[in-house]
Chains A and B, each alone.
Chain A
Amino acid sequence: VSLARPAAPAAEAIADDSLRGELLAKVKGLARRRAVAPQRPAVTLRPRPALRPMPLLLAIGSSTGRPQALFTLVQGLGKRVPIPVVLTQHMPAAFTPILAAHLTRLGAMPCAEARDGQALEPGRIVLAPGNRHLLVQADGGGLRARLGGRGVEIIGTDIAREQLRRAREGVYTLFEVQRGLPMQFLVRYFRKDGANWRLNDAIRAMVSFREWNLLSDLRGLG
């Protein structure tokens, strides 16, 4: 909006009816324009999405049912996981080193059995050894593995080598498997082997056998 600058001094100019009329008309006009000026569109306030902090750790628990699902998951995670990964797999102690090696061979993240006190590193899988609990301890800015729980070791002993050989082999006759073994367990843990029945490897691996005379000092058994 413009208004011609009056040539006369201000007091005289205001006294000039024509100038005063023009000035008032423009001020009122401006006031009306402001009154009808379209309102600015309302601003929709959206809460800013919360910043999700990166988790410190990826923990995976896996039962005995389907190791294949575990392999698929680890392959799917790839090589670039920016946080440490801990894994517990329900599996006898004799098999967890084999599992760690197999997971490493998948070509995603390297995997190893946990050592007590080791620092957990991003992009590496630490596997709980069989029969052990894997605990994670905050240590300064990082995390450490702690192996806890009470590991249970089952040791079978006999003084007779032939009996130990048979026990290690886990093969039983028809008469033997029917003494004290419910049929559901027979179906679940054994398979037919000719006329005999063979205990599955996972159960056999839970027990170690030693030649031992129980009349001697037992401290060597552990």
Chain B
Amino acid sequence: MARTCLVVDDSRVVRKVARRILEQHGFTVEEAEDGKAALEACCRNMPGCVLLDWNMPGMNGIEFLKALRQAFGAAGPPVVLCTTENEIAFIEQAIEHGAQEFIMKPFDEDILLGKFSQAGLL
């Protein structure tokens, strides 16, 4: 069964890098450039997991995460937050809102795959 990942980031470069890594490891990748587009994508076709940026215009990552959990609860997909924010308070906030893992940018292939593995996605 194909694994699907929704990559949500306002940076086209980050989306491209993440897509390349994930596709090399068997994921089918869909992209969204902000939280609102990501929610619409989830409503259309629920992904197996979400790689989510925090700081985005419009609906940011945490707002998307809250809306996702509110709409789908435990049935929603696992979410790995990926952000330049690296204070403890941000990580705690991500945990509180139901993120499975937290990646601090910049990241490389090992870190991304390691975090997906820890979240049980690989």
Contacts and interface: CB of A to CB of B under 8 A. Distances in A.
Tell whether A and B belong to one assembly: yes
A100 to B, nearest CB: 32
Interface residues of B, number: 19
Contact of B110 (A179, A183, A184, A186): A179
Contacts, number: 34
Contacts of B107: 178
- Closest A-B pairs by Cβ, 6 of them: A183-B102, A178-B111, A182-B118, A187-B91, A174-B104, A183-B91
Interface of A: 174-175, 178-180, 182-184, 186-187, 191-192
Nearest to A174: B104
A186 B95 CA distance: 12
Contact of A184 (B95, B103, B108): B95
Nearest to B87: A192
A192 B102 contact: no
Contacts of A183: 91, 94-95, 99, 101-102
Interface string B79-121: 0000000111001101100010111100110110011001000
Nearest to A177: B104
A114 B104 CA distance: 46
B104 A178 contact: yes
B101 A179 contact: no
23 contacts: A174-B104, A175-B108, A175-B111, A178-B103, A178-B107, A178-B114, A178-B115, A179-B110, A180-B118, A182-B118, A183-B91, A183-B95, A183-B99, A183-B102, A184-B95, A186-B91, A186-B102, A187-B88, A187-B91, A187-B92, A187-B95, A192-B87, A192-B88
B114 A180 contact: yes
Contacts of A180: 114, 118
Contacts of B104: 174, 178
Given A184-B95, A187-B92, A179 B111 contact: yes
